C-alpha cells in the first residue's frame, strides 16, 4: 500500500521486485486488496506480453492513512507508559 501511496501506478513486476515477493504471494495480496476496494488493477498487453498495473483507490488511501494514524497513536501511548 505504501508503494502505491507514492506512485500513481505500479506494474506487477515492479511491485514484485520492490516487495521481494513471489508471484503467488503478490497475486494473493493484490487480489485481497482489490476485493476490499483498496486498489484497482488494469490488465493490458504490451506487445505480446500481459501487463497488469495497480493503483490505489480513494478508499485505500483513507484506510492506509487511518492505519498509519492508529499505529502512531499506539506508539505514542506505549512510549508514555
Answer for the pair 56, 10: CB distance below 8 angstroms, yes or no: no
Residue 24 pLDDT more than 90? yes
Overall fold of domain 2-79? Arc Repressor Mutant, subunit A (1.10.10)
What does the block give as the cell for 46? 504490451
In this prediction, residue 75 carries a pLDDT of 95
Q: How far apart are CA 22 and CA 3, in angstroms?
A: 17
Q: How far apart are CA 45 and CA 50, in angstroms?
A: 4
The structural domains of the chain, with segments of one domain joined by +, span 2-79
Q: What is the mean pLDDT of the chain?
A: 95
Q: How far apart are CA 60 and CA 55, in angstroms?
A: 9
Q: How far apart are CA 51 and CA 66, in angstroms?
A: 31
Amino acid at each position: 500500500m505504501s508503494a502505491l501511496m507514492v506512485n500513481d501506478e505500479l506494474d506487477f513486476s515492479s511491485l514484485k521486485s520492490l516487495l521481494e515477493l513471489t508471484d503467488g504471494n503478490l497475486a494473493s495480496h493484490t487480489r485481497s486488496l482489490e476485493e476490499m476496494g483498496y486498489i484497482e488493477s488494469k490488465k493490458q498487453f504490451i506487445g505480446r506480453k500481459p501487463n497488469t498495473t495497480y493503483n490505489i483507490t480513494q478508499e485505500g488511501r483513507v484506510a492506509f492513512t487511518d492505519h498509519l494514524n492508529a499505529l502512531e497513536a499506539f506508539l505514542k501511548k506505549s512510549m508514555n507508559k
